[in-house]
């Protein structure tokens, strides 16, 4: 039998191993100078004024919503086709998630949907840069007015909008989960230009303490501290940051490799009438190709996935529509989103990772052709 092709695999090498070994030998392995360096490198990438390492993107969303004062009775607009983490954090903040429908071709949230849903209770808008394609931020900004925009950039490391990397303008939250384009094992990053927000985020990230531990326990430093507001423990470690710094140095190569594979999929599968390929946003952008999501039209999705499994090929499902989740319906009632509901029954993510070789890509293409034919 052919070797199994997973849907995703991290792009790791000896450089990451060496970077971790150096931290282990340094004597300081938790949040410290490597995290600070990772933040500086991320500022250079995005052009944001501030960057904060986090234990996860979920943790980042939690403290961003808390720091913005999102509370009971507030509404937050977001697409339903996203990982449930975002919606969970909205709900846990006490707010109501208000779901906007998406564009069929790109699977990105629609500006007209956002504009239609804004009320006096709307306190934040969270567009998702789905699969590595950027949402239309200028249009969303125009609809939002003075309402804070929080970019769900979990898929968007390496994504560009109008020539600028995602995260340069609005508060954005990135993920470094192993499935993402770069990884720290687990982890995330917040970028923002808001100084006051940054101060609150730093406090909420680590117990409410205003000074980093590595700055309190260095030679000749003052180990005392004060707690200005109760916080959480959402810090990244230097062990993880060392991997992130090394991964970030490979980002251009990673993105190029992903784009090459995506172009091969488009060329090899475009003639198939039984599926729809990902559409390209109609504005200037750079796609990170975190996912390659097709829509199966000629057969039930489960049969398509079973056929891939029989051929030893992995796949993904990104995502169940959040407005159809049991607890969401129970707490907030039924919402009808025709496009989201349509695509949620059809979408499948094909294998896509930088380590895929040409033969593996061709195997996937031939398998899809055979199944759909």
Q: Is the pLDDT of residue 166 over 60?
A: yes
3 state SS of 149: strand
Q: Is the pLDDT of residue 215 over 80?
A: no
The number of C-alpha atoms within 13 Å of 373 and in the hemisphere containing its C-beta is 6
What pLDDT score does 221 carry?
Answer: 65
Tokens at 198, concatenated: 């940054």
Global pTM value:
0.96
Q: Are 166 and 134 in contact (CB under 8 A)?
A: yes
What pLDDT score does 255 carry?
Answer: 98
Read off the DSSP letter of residue 237: P
Distance CA 89, CA 216 (A): 32
Higher pLDDT, 357 or 221: 357
* Catalytic machinery residues: 180
Q: What are phi and psi of 325, to 5 degrees?
A: -65, 145
Matching residue, tokens 């490799």: 257
What pLDDT score does 71 carry?
Answer: 98
| Per-residue pLDDT reduced to its tens digit, 289-343 | 999 999 999 999 999 999 999 999 999 999 999 999 999 999 999 999 999 999 9
Q: Are 140 and 125 in contact (CB under 8 A)?
A: yes
Q: Are 244 and 38 in contact (CB under 8 A)?
A: yes
Confidence bin at 219 (pLDDT 50/70/90): low
What stretch of H or E contains 37? helix 33-46
What pLDDT score does 212 carry?
Answer: 62
What pLDDT score does 228 carry?
Answer: 78
- What CATH fold (topology level) applies to the domain 14-250? 3.40.640
Matching residue, tokens 């209770």: 121
Q: Is the pLDDT of residue 218 over 90?
A: no
3 state SS of 133: coil
Torsion of CA 86, 88, 92, 95, to 10 degrees: 70
List strand residue ranges (DSSP E) for the chain, in order.
50-54, 75-79, 96-100, 122-125, 150-152, 160-161, 164-165, 171-175, 188-192, 275-276, 285-286, 292-296, 347-350
| Mean pLDDT taken over the chain | 96
What stretch of H or E contains 104? none
Domain ranges, ordered by start, for the chain: 14-250, 252-372
Q: Is the pLDDT of residue 217 over 90?
A: no
Task: Give me the CATH code for the 252-372 domain, please.
Answer: 3.90.1150.10
What pLDDT score does 280 carry?
Answer: 97
Matching residue, tokens 């090498």: 13
Confidence bin at 1 (pLDDT 50/70/90): low
What are the residues whose beta carbons fall under 8 Å from the beta carbon of 219, sequence distance 6 or more?
none
Higher pLDDT, 1 or 349: 349
Distance CA 303, CA 360 (A): 22
What pLDDT score does 273 carry?
Answer: 97
What stretch of H or E contains 286? strand 285-286
What pLDDT score does 229 carry?
Answer: 83
């Amino acid at each position: 039998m052919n070797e199994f092709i997973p849907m995703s695999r991290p792009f790791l090498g000896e450089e990451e191993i060496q970077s971790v070994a150096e931290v282990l030998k340094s004597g300081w392995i938790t949040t410290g100078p490597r995290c600070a360096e990772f933040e500086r490198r991320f500022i250079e990438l995005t052009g944001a004024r501030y960057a904060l390492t986090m234990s996860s993107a979920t943790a980042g969303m939690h403290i961003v919503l808390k720091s913005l004062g999102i509370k009971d009775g507030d509404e937050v607009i977001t697409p339903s086709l996203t990982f449930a983490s975002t919606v969970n954090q909205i709900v846990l903040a006490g707010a109501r998630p208000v779901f906007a429908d998406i564009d069929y071709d790109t699977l990105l949230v629609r500006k007209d949907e956002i504009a239609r849903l804004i009320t006096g209770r709307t306190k934040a808008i969270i567009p998702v840069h789905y699969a590595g394609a950027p949402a239309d931020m200028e249009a969303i900004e125009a609809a939002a007015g003075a309402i804070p925009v929080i970019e769900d950039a979990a898929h968007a490391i390496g994504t560009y909008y109008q020539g600028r990397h995602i995260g340069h303008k609005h508060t954005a939250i990135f993920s470094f989960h192993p499935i993402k384009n770069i990884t720290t094992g687990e982890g995330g990053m917040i970028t923002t230009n808001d100084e006051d927000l940054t101060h609150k985020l730093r406090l909420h990230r680590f117990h409410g303490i205003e000074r980093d531990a590595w700055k309190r326990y260095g030679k000749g430093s003052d180990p005392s501290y004060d707690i200005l507001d109760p916080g959480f423990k959402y810090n990244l470690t230097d062990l993880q940051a060392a991997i992130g710094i090394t991964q970030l140095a490979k980002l251009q190569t990673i993105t190029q490799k992903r784009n090459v594979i995506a172009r091969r999929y488009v060329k090899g599968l475009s003639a198939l009438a039984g599926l729809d390929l990902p559409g390209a946003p109609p504005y200037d952008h750079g796609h990170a190709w975190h996912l390659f999501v097709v829509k199966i039209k000629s057969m039930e999705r489960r049969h398509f996935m079973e056929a891939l499994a029989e051929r030893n090929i992995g796949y993904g499902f990104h995502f169940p529509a959040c407005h159809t989740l049991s607890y969401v319906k129970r707490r907030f009632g039924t919402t009808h989103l025709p496009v989201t509901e349509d695509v949620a029954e059809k979408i499948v993510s094909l294998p896509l990772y930088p380590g895929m070789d040409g033969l593996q890509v061709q195997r996937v293409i031939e398998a899809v052709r055979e199944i759909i034919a």
